[in-house]
């Protein structure tokens, strides 16, 4: 539901747009968002500056092997190192596709120059203390940024520099179901969630609510989801079903 006028155009999920994206797919990202970028975007790389988050979601594809915490307390890489390494790794993945049947030469070459970056994958990217420098560095290299936050750090959303498209994961529509689905670390998780949606409202940029629906957990609260729309007034709503990644 684009409403326009806000300028240019997380939860975390598995890599979908890796090397296979170089195989004869249509042009990648135009204005369709993360899903389109991932599925068709040979020039879309994925990266996360923080493996950690403040949740233990029931559908976490990392099966809870990633660290959790309420604040950053880990070793930190410089943003330049992260960007250089991300581009290097993306390029290595693309190169593995050289000579594979169906890979078109021109698209293979395009894939060596990423133009979009999904900052999600796993963890909570805005926990990373240097997230704004990281975003600046990506933009300086003419790489657009698609950042997904899991709605537990409203103050970090407020201080975040404009990204190309800002996503907030809306994993449930009521306090009870959010607790059951996300299993958050914070005691005031619901207030943080609501404040995150309000913070989204105040960002002068393109925004998205991202819903991951799990049958029997969070898919039935339609009216409650509708009530949340007024808090953030996102430009788009992305709805996806949970992807089973094994037990």
State the nearest-atom distance from the C-beta of 182 to ligand SF4, in Å. Answer: 6
Asked if 179 interacts with ligand SF4 (CB under 6 A), we say: no
Computed on alpha carbons and rounded to an integer, the radius of gyration of the chain in Å comes to 18
| Structural contact between residues 46 and 120, judged by C-beta atoms closer than 8 angstroms | yes
Residues from 127 through 156 that contact ligand SF4 (CB under 6 A): 150
Lookup: tokens for 172: 């449930």
Are the CB atoms for 118 and 45 separated by under 8 Å?
A: yes
Which residue in the set 22, 44, 60, 208 belongs to the binding site for ligand SF4 (CB under 6 A)? 60
The contacts found for 173-177 with CB under 8 angstroms, 24 or more apart, are 173/218, 173/221, 173/224, 173/225, 173/227, 173/228, 174/221, 174/224, 177/217, 177/218, 177/221
Q: Which of 33, 123, 125, 232 binds ligand SF4 (CB under 6 A)?
A: 123
Question: Which of residues 9 and 34 has its CB atom nearest to ligand SF4 in the complex?
Answer: 34
Q: Calculate the CA dihedral of residues 5, 8, 10, 12 and round it to 10 degrees.
A: 150
Locus of tokens 């709805």: 239
Interface with ligand SF4 (CB under 6 A), residue from 57, 83, 143, 208: 57
Residue 11 found at the interface with ligand SF4 (CB under 6 A): yes
User: Cβ closer to ligand SF4: 57 or 170?
Assistant: 57
Which residue lies nearer to ligand SF4 by CB, 44 or 57? 57
Contact 33, 208 (CB under 8 A): yes
Instruction: Identify which of residues 53 and 200 has a Cβ nearer to ligand SF4 in the complex.
Output: 53
- Binding segment for ligand SF4 (CB under 6 A), chosen from 27-35, 53-61, 93-101, 131-139, is 53-61
Q: Is 53 a binder of ligand SF4 (CB under 6 A)?
A: yes
Element (H, E) at 47: strand 44-47
Among 26, 30, 56, 95, binds ligand SF4 (CB under 6 A): 56
Interface with ligand SF4 (CB under 6 A): 11-12, 53, 55-57, 60, 62, 66, 122-123, 150
């Amino acid at each position: 539901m684009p409403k326009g006028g806000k300028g240019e155009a997380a939860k975390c999920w598995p890599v979908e747009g890796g090397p296979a994206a170089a195989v004869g797919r249509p042009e990648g990202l135009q204005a369709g968002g993360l899903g389109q970028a991932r599925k068709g975007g040979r020039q879309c790389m994925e990266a996360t500056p923080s493996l950690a988050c403040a949740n233990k979601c029931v559908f976490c594809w990392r099966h809870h092997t990633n660290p959790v915490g309420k604040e950053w307390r880990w070793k930190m890489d410089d943003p330049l190192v992260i960007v250089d390494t991300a581009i290097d790794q993306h390029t290595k993945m693309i190169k593995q596709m050289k000579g594979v049947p169906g890979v078109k030469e021109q698209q293979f070459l395009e894939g060596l120059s990423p133009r979009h970056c999904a900052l999600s994958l796993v963890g909570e990217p805005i926990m990373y203390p240097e997230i704004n420098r990281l975003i600046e560095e990506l933009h300086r290299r003419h790489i657009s940024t698609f950042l997904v936050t899991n709605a537990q750090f409203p103050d970090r959303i407020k201080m975040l520099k404009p990204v190309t498209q800002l996503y907030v994961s809306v994993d449930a529509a009521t306090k009870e179901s959010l607790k059951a689905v996300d299993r958050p670390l914070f005691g005031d998780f619901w207030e943080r969630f609501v404040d995150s949606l309000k913070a989204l409202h105040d960002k002068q940029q393109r925004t998205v609510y991202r819903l991951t629906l799990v049958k029997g957990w969070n898919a039935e609260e339609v009216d409650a989801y509708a009530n949340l729309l007024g808090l953030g007034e996102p430009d788009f709503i992305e709805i996806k079903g949970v992807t089973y990644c094994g037990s």
